Amino acid sequence: MKLKAISILFVGLFLITANLKAQDLMDMLGDSKSQTVDYATATFKTTRLVTGESVENPANGVLLFLISHRFGQMNSGAYELFGLDQSTIRFGLEYGINDRLAVGVGRSSYQKDFDGFVKYKVLRQSSGKRNMPVSLSYFAGADVNTLKWQYPERPNHTSSRYSYVHQLLLARKMTSMLSLQIMPTVVHKNLVATTGDKNDMYAVGGGGRYKFTNRASINAEYYYVLPNQTVNSYSNCLSLGFDVETGGHVFQLIFTNAKPMFERGFITENTGKWSKGDIYFGFNISRVFTIKKPKAYKES
């Protein structure tokens, strides 16, 4: 029943987006009377909603350098300076190949994990005679745990270290101040801890941003993992953020119950509970570098 419901959800989204995509293609084929020219911009300030992905990509020819940092649990007490004595960090690079396609890589200190992804803008919210009510991106990623083998004396397979994630990021800029997004997600693990765990785990995320000044906003994000997929007592990830834009930087202050900063970790293996004070304070800092100058700039 669970798999059937998820299948219906993805099929429904596919049918809806196929119809919207057909409209988008008609615009690109050059019908000047119905051509869409007014695209929604800055649905979110950066490529991260809080911990997870947003529909935003680096611009064409732009390299984004992202530093993500999480301190320890705030309930760890004064001896650990309420978590500030501990740290987990991820460095990431993301590049806009064109206006729709972006790629990225990252490395986390948590589980010494390496990750990579591609993200493609299937639809872009726009207004005009060919109205497009939403933006839609497809995100596909993979990660590998590079910790030393726990039991090196037995046969170990490198393939068991890999996991994969597929997401649809469906967003709408409701007003100049409010943006919302939902994220149907599938995480596949080549190896699971017990026979009671599923290799394919399904989750649905939701979140949004409320802008209260031109350069600052409050963000929220929640991932719900469907039940009966693991025997472990994992928790759903809830993250709150405060975004500030300062020129070429976007600075995000974050409170979350998840220590990992890659999808497999914070969606399907999160152990922190807000109710117990397992809250991690952290931040994201992003800086953009123009690698390929825009055509209009080069010609001028």
Of 107 and 299, the one with more pLDDT: 107
Of 16 and 286, the one with more pLDDT: 286
Across residues 47-65, what is the average pLDDT?
95
Percentage with pLDDT > 70 across the chain? 85
pTM: 0.83
pLDDT computed for residue 278 by the predictor: 92
pLDDT reading at 232 higher than 50:
yes
The answer for residues whose C-beta is within 8 angstroms of residue 97's C-beta and 6 or more apart is 60, 103
CA dihedral sign, ordered 25, 26, 30, 32: negative
The model's confidence at residue 17, banded by pLDDT at 50, 70 and 90, is: very low
Domain annotation covers residue 24: no
Q: How many independent structural domains does the chain possess?
A: 1
Domain annotation covers residue 300: no
pLDDT computed for residue 23 by the predictor: 47
Domain annotation covers residue 27: no
pLDDT reading at 14 higher than 80:
no
Could you give the angle at the alpha carbon of 35 between the alpha carbons of 33 and 41, nearest 5°?
A: 145
Domain annotation covers residue 101: yes
Lowest mean pLDDT among 22-26, 214-218, 259-263: 22-26
CA dihedral sign, ordered 178, 184, 190, 191: positive
Percentage with pLDDT > 90 across the chain? 60
Across residues 65-94, what is the average pLDDT?
92
User: Measured between alpha carbons, how far is 201 from 188 in angstroms, rounded to an integer?
Assistant: 6
Across residues 13-27, what is the average pLDDT?
47
- Residue 122 sits in which domain range? 38-292
Report whether 138 contacts 167 (CB < 8 A).
yes
Domain annotation covers residue 247: yes
- Residue 211: CB atoms within 10 A of its CB come to 19
User: Measured between alpha carbons, how far is 158 from 87 in angstroms, rounded to an integer?
Assistant: 27
Identify the residue whose tokens are 């953009």.
288
Domain annotation covers residue 3: no
pLDDT computed for residue 18 by the predictor: 46
| Highest mean pLDDT out of 67-81, 94-108, 278-292 | 94-108
Domain annotation covers residue 32: no
Domain annotation covers residue 274: yes
pLDDT reading at 183 higher than 80:
yes
What is the CATH classification number for the domain harbouring 250? 2.40.160.40
The rounded mean pLDDT for the chain is: 86
